[in-house]
Amino acid sequence: MRVLAIDPGTLRMGYAVLDAEPAPEADDYGVVPMRREMPIEQRLYQLHTHILNMIHVFQPDAIAVEDPFVGREERAFAKSALAIGQAQAVVLIGAASQGIPVHRYKPADVKMAVADYGRATKEQVQQIAASRLGITHKLESDAADALAVGLCHLQRVQADDLASREISPGKEL
């Protein structure tokens, strides 16, 4: 299984391409930067083009994308969540146009899958993701986030596969 993982953003979109077998491995990762002075519709169009190019080049079996974090009360991030949601929509449209299934993960789910703790810091998750993939150099934050989303997806697929093999009373072998 090959997954294209995306950490969406309208100024910086992190991406990672991970293969599951024999152990999770990062084939490619990085950041697609956008110029702040570029109008939002142009940035979204550029992101759409990048997503379609990545799909064409990497031929993923699935796309995993992180959902925006909205927050609550005084920690509400409505403006940034809206921008991330717009970038996420570009990913969803690109995947749908190519018939590739999309899997969305909440930030807490990514933290839980990678760090075994849903309230781990962003830095802890990034360090653990890099370590699990054998990456020893400093990663850009958005690329590290995309790697974590990809690991979360591969772990979820593996867990679902194991659950489907469970032997239960009345189930034929």
Residue 143 lies in a domain: yes
State the total domains in the chain.
1
pLDDT exceeds 70 at position 72: no
Candidate list 19, 66, 67, 145, residue with the active-site label: 66
Residue 39 lies in a domain: yes
pLDDT per residue over 105-146, tens digit each?
Answer: 999 999 999 998 878 898 999 999 999 999 999 999 999 999
Residue 169 lies in a domain: no
Candidate list 19, 67, 142, 145, residue with the active-site label: 142
Amino acid present at 117: Y
The secondary structure element, H or E, covering residue 30 is strand 25-33
pLDDT per residue over 8-66, tens digit each?
Answer: 999 999 999 999 988 899 999 999 999 999 999 999 999 999 999 999 999 999 999 99
Q: Specify whether 7 is catalytic.
A: yes
Residue 173 lies in a domain: no
Q: How many helices (H) and strands (E) does the chain have?
A: 5, 5
Residue 63 lies in a domain: yes
CA distance 135 to 120: 20
The secondary structure element, H or E, covering residue 15 is strand 12-19
pLDDT level of residue 68 (50, 70, 90 thresholds): confident
pLDDT level of residue 169 (50, 70, 90 thresholds): confident
Residue 151: give the domain boundaries: 2-164
Q: Specify whether 27 is catalytic.
A: no
Candidate list 7, 19, 67, 145, residue with the active-site label: 7
Q: Specify whether 160 is catalytic.
A: no
Residue 155 lies in a domain: yes
